[in-house]
Amino acid sequence: MSAPYFPFYTQDFFADYRVQELSAEQCGLWVLLLLRMWERDMLLPNNDDKQIARMMRLPLEKWVALRETCIESGLLHDNGDFLISPRLTTEYSKALQKLANSSKGGKSSADKRRGNAAKSSELAVDLECT
C-alpha cells in the first residue's frame, strides 16, 4: 500500500548540509529519486542501473555518478539489494501509519453512524407499534 501524498519539509531539505553540497542539477535529480522511491514503496532495487537511469531520465553515466555522490554523502544507502534513503523511509512509515489510523477512525465513525441509524429505525418501529 503506498501513501497517496509525499510530505516534503522544505526547511529540513534546505537545511541539510548534504543537500547544500549538491549542484542545482543534482538537487533536482535527488528530489526526482525520492519521488520515484516513494511511488515504489521504498523498494528501488540496485541491481539494474540501466533501468534506474531510464526511470531517472538520465544517461547511465550520470545516474551512476549521482548514485555515488548520494551514497558518499550519506543521503542514500546501498544495503546490497535496495537503495535506501533513511529519512524517506522514516517519513514513509509515518505516512502509512497516519493513513492506517485515519482509515481505522473512518471505519469506527461509520460503524457508529450505522449503529445510531439502526437504533433510530428501531425507535421508529417501536413508536409505530405503540
Tens of pLDDT along 72-82? Answer: 999 999 998 99
Q: What grid cell was written down for 41?
A: 514503496
For helices 24-39 and 86-129, what crossing angle results, to 10°?
Answer: 40
Alpha carbon distance 94, 124 (integer Å): 45
* Lowest-confidence pick of 1-10, 96-105, 107-116: 107-116
> H helices within 22-85, ranges in order?
24-39, 49-55, 60-73
**In this structure, are residues 96 and 1 in contact, taking their beta carbons and an 8 Å threshold?**
yes
Residue 4 in this model has a pLDDT that exceeds 80: no
Taken in order of first residue, the domains within the chain and their CATH numbers are 10-129 (1.10.10)
**What is the value of pTM for the model shown?**
0.73
Residue 108 in this model has a pLDDT that exceeds 80: no
Residue with the larger pLDDT of the pair 4 and 112:
4
